[in-house]
Chain A
Amino acid sequence: MSLVLDVRDATKVYGAGETAVHALRGVSLQVEPGDYVAIMGASGSGKSTLMNIIGCLDVPTAGEFHLDGVDVGALDDRRQAVVRNRKIGFVFQSFNLIPRMTALMNVELPLAYGGVKPAERRRRALAALDLVGLADRVGHQPNELSGGQQQRVAIARALVTSPTLLLADEPTGALDSTSTLDVLGIFDRLSAAGRTIVVITHEADVAEHAKRVVRLRDGRVIEDTRLAPVDGLPPRLKEVTA
């Protein structure tokens, strides 16, 4: 089975000479399709750098990175944009919805950049919003939605292109406990439906929902624990669906 993610011995150095900062010191990480991985670590552990590399927003200084079998570092700017559009769905801590655009328009945006026809775009965006339980909020702008609702719109936007990988960076970091449960419930159900998810977090509660937990410290993987089999259900699915 081909790997969704294949990071081999990646290093990342910011700056040069004596002031150089080694954010990653040789990280290797393989993720199989259908897996649900939580990457944990304190701030400064390199988890954001790793997420930028996985999200094709940055390239490693050394080492290799293959996404869905494609060597992303070798692609030009335009092809990288296509990879971000088709293969990755981003969920950010601060939602990052575009202001003054309705929920529906925000969700349609990746499809617009992907060249999908307007009618098809609308259909898929409405389906994605329905999936996160916001079918009745499609016409609202971000500032008319609660934090939890905004994050669900962001998840719908990430899912709408049916990406190979759903990549979430501290998705619950800015949410209250009820909204956190909502969002984690969505992730668990997506995982149960077979979607590959990578969540970056520093909260143990969030990591416990994943099938596999990877801990980073000082730019290295220090622990890799499997909580549930790759083709099994996420460990806390029952709680969130109850």
Chain B
Amino acid sequence: MSAVEIVRFAVRGLAANKMRSALTTLGILIGVAAVILLVAVGEGSSRSIQQNIQQLGANTLTVSSSTGGGGGGGGFRMARQQQDTGPRTQARPLTVDDARALADRAAAPHVSSVSPVVSANAQAASYDGASHPIQQVIGTYPSYFEASNKPVAQGTYFFNDDVLAARKVIVIGQTVAENLFGALDPVGRQITLTGVPFTVVGVLKEAGSTGGFQDADDVAIAPLTSVQQSLTGFGPLNQILVKAGSAGDVAAAQAEITSVLDQRHGVGGTVAADYQILNQATLQETVSAATSTFTVLLAAVAAISLLVGGIGITNIMLVTVTERTREIGIRKAIGAPRGAILGQFLVEATLLSLIGGLLGVAIAVAGAQFTIAGITPVVVPSSVVLALGVSVAIGLFFGSYPANRAARLRPIEALRFE
């Protein structure tokens, strides 16, 4: 009795009850597909978040005011701090002077560029009758384009001269270009931003979907001075974008920024810093840890459905063994050894789970081609191997009890069974 023979008997046994086999297979199919797909969704969301972070710019550090100390709510804390440390008036906002100090090669040798940033949200822009609220208008220096990883697709950047002269030039994102100009070439045309005319000098390269948080293409970038003049006023900076020389310099640059700003803002001793530095690398690590927890959670939920599918196999195999008791008796009477009966039912159970597993993989891979809840799933090969392996193991494990029962049947009793 060869293994091929046993597999043939098993296939025939399954084919005899196609509906039941199909439904049992469905249980495993759903389990396997769920495991693979949910892990893929978890992986996809983790990648898209990491991509977003990288899009903010590689090797960059973002300096922004700490909100806690700056507002009116900080009054009480200020008073107490005064007692402790002597003269200290207020948390200082970030200024263009702070940015200039950071650009000092001597004090901060690892910093390669510094871009002060002001931003205004939801500014109405219009061109020739078409209007569009731009989600974010950024006023900055030309170095911002490189530091924040925003290359220009059409036209050009603005230059330092434009900043000095506060020229009303602007670089717009793809979404803005489409909404205001449609098919027209925007470069050289004039748009009106809350009543102030700006000349479009360039269009940013499309940043692509950013996972639904916000449209990274719905931006416009203009010289710092122009934006301050016409939109935000000459108040504090929203942030300072600092680019380190290389990935290895990021930590050193962060230390330098801290020392420069601590000095300028009088931070030290018991005085808490009135600014914060966001490091892309640390942010990335934190987010990865959070998303991997999320992925594990999803996989655990899916694994439960795989287990339920396995129990379904045991159930169906038990029914099958009972139903085919007489057939087992006949087979034994004509000389089937115990191993052949055991093998047949074990292979039947394993085939059910294997077919279910393979179909599950196929469906999961097909399903991963679509965007699910705004996330493009990324199929993790190890999850496919694991889900398939587990489904086969489930077939063997959950099939072994019914198969053993079949093999142990005594032929006279089995033959007498009606």
Contact = CB atoms under 8 A, between A and B. Distances in A.
Interface stretch (B49-57, B179-187, B335-343, B347-355): B335-343
Contacts of A187: none
B331 A98 contact: yes
B338 to A, nearest CB: 6
B7 to A, nearest CB: 12
Contacts of B98: none
A91 to B, nearest CB: 11
Interface centre among B1, B12, B339, B411 (most CB of A within 10 A): B411
Given A96-B415, A113-B1, A84 B335 contact: yes
A82 B12 CA distance: 24
B12 A112 contact: no
B415 A92 contact: yes
Contacts of B162: none
Contacts, number: 64
Contacts of B415: 57, 92, 96
A85 B335 contact: yes
Interface centre among B5, B326, B333 (most CB of A within 10 A): B333
Given A96-B326, A98-B327, A100-B12, A114 B412 contact: no
Interface in A63-114: 77-78, 81-86, 90, 92, 96-101, 109-110, 112-114
Given A82-B337, A92-B415, A96-B415, A113 B331 contact: yes
Contact of A113 (B16, B340, B412): B340
A161 B335 CA distance: 11
Contacts of B331: 98, 109, 113
Given A98-B327, A113-B1, A157 B334 contact: yes
Interface string B238-277: 0000000000000000000000000000000000000000
A115 B5 CA distance: 9
A89 B337 CA distance: 16
A81 B332 CA distance: 7
B334 A115 contact: no
Which size class do B's interface residues fall under?
A: 20 to 34
Which size class do A's interface residues fall under?
A: 20 to 34
Contacts of B16: 99-100
A82 B327 contact: no
A112 B412 contact: no
B330 interface: yes
A152 B410 CA distance: 26
A41 interface: no
Given A98-B330, A100-B12, A81 B337 contact: yes
Interface of A: 52, 55, 57-58, 77-78, 81-86, 90, 92, 96-101, 109-110, 112-115, 157, 161
18 contacts: A55-B333, A57-B333, A77-B337, A77-B338, A82-B335, A83-B335, A84-B332, A96-B330, A98-B327, A99-B16, A101-B12, A109-B331, A112-B1, A113-B331, A113-B340, A114-B335, A157-B334, A161-B335
Given A78-B338, A84-B334, 11 more contacts: A55-B333, A58-B412, A77-B337, A86-B335, A97-B330, A99-B16, A101-B12, A112-B5, A113-B331, A113-B334, A113-B336
